[in-house]
Structure 1
Amino acid sequence: MPWTSKEDSKLIDALLQLHNTGRYKADGGLRLTLKTHFSILYDMKAGRGTSGFGWDNDRKCITAENSVLEEYLKSHSDAEPFRYKSFPFYEELSIIFGKDRATGKGSVDYVDIEEALDKQAAPKNENVGDDDATSTSFVQANVFEGGEESSKLKKIKLDTGSQLSKAIKESSMLLGAEIGKATDFLSRALEDTEGIEKRLKINEALTSLSGLTMLERHKATRKIGCDRETLDIFFTIPEEEKQV
């Protein structure tokens, strides 16, 4: 029996509930298939080097000029089935998989990038030996052998590397601080048994309210569940007042 759109909706609803309670694991079985499909669309819509791609929010599909799409498919053949395919649950799946896709599991760590750039941008010692010849040639262009042109090119590369290293350091510090705050908050929240039990009941309570779409309901679930004070207040409000 073919899988229906109604069953799709129920599956996504269940995955969002698991994700909101922190019990969802993104890999394995059908979930891995969903993640693979989402990743293909995410790379087309927001990946590097995908200029010219857009998103039709009404039809829930990728948009692009034929020439742009054909060029992309030359190196991304797995995206062929999605050139005109509607993907109605992209926004919901972005809640579940978006963070992993944006950070890129298995990608190079920020610290590794900083160290590599620092090595590239660091001034060369005048008393370099034969062992440094290879790294020096990496900074200098082979086209120019010494002279004024070589010095200018070397300075440009060093300046660019230094600026990029500084920008990544600042970004990684800000990102690390935000991740640290979020981790500390979630750790404290998950240790509270009463808070966990209430979070499990948020979606059930919101489902009884009329006028909310599935996406609105899950966004509300995440917002209420991430703040203990809001969570406590929500469950003290009478049902008729919640409806208002």
Structure 2
Amino acid sequence: MDNHNNLNASQEPKGRRRKWEAFEEEVLLSVLEDFVARKQRCDTGAFKQGTLIEIAKAVNVLCPNSNIKATPHIESKLKKWKKTYSLVFDMINTSGFAWNDVKKCVEVDSDDAWLSYVQKNKEADGWRSKPFPLYDRFAYIFGKDRATGNVAETPAEMMEEQSHAQVGASDIGGENVVSSMNQQSQQSTPSENSQRKRKRAMGNSSDGTEAIISGLKEFYVESGKRMQMVTEALVQGTSNHTDIANELEAMGLSPMDQIDALTLILEKPQNVGVFRAINSGLKKVFLKNLASLRYRLSQR
């Protein structure tokens, strides 16, 4: 049986939903962003099953003993997140609706416009002016405009483009209008465009595969480096940990929290390797995870 199965299929009874901790969701978001940056996501904004397994591996390294599976845990979490993203995306792309990038929420021009929209879209009820700080991250992760297939923009980028468009419109003269009409008359029909896109897609399939393989190689090289650091920590369990103590102090923790955090990290050599390997943004999340794990074990 494939060794990946322990990260791919859950052994939990059907009907039981996994309760995600806040730090686990933060880790998953960070890992997804990393995979998107490495071009490990499909053009549709989805992740293949094999990629989900690799994501589960990364999450379990950062969340020891969490036993998070690719299926159903990560798969269902992504489905839920994408549904929420799509809901907000549709609203801010509706006439009379706008995104407030300061308050991170959907705003509507009038009560009538909102009531009319909610009558047709029941799930939107309650989302008016509701803070949604994760939207920009969701847009980056899920990545594609569902309606047009273009790369999804953050609300801030959309607002900036609208501003530029308004300035440009005031400068348009008769010659520009004629030029624009000529350009439109020379454009291909939708069917011709779709045929060309299909041909390009077929021609570039091998290039896409090579890019995926290259990205996976890069991921495994990076994972290998981190595993090497973990191995070194296992072998050199009594080595100097001044660097960790200094980093905990730089994180702004209180003296007592620094001592507790250092104790947690040094309890297991692999914790030392993981702490040194992950980026600074995940270190606090990792410490919270260790503290939460110790508490759960103490309650058994």
The TM-score normalised by the length of structure 2 is 0.39
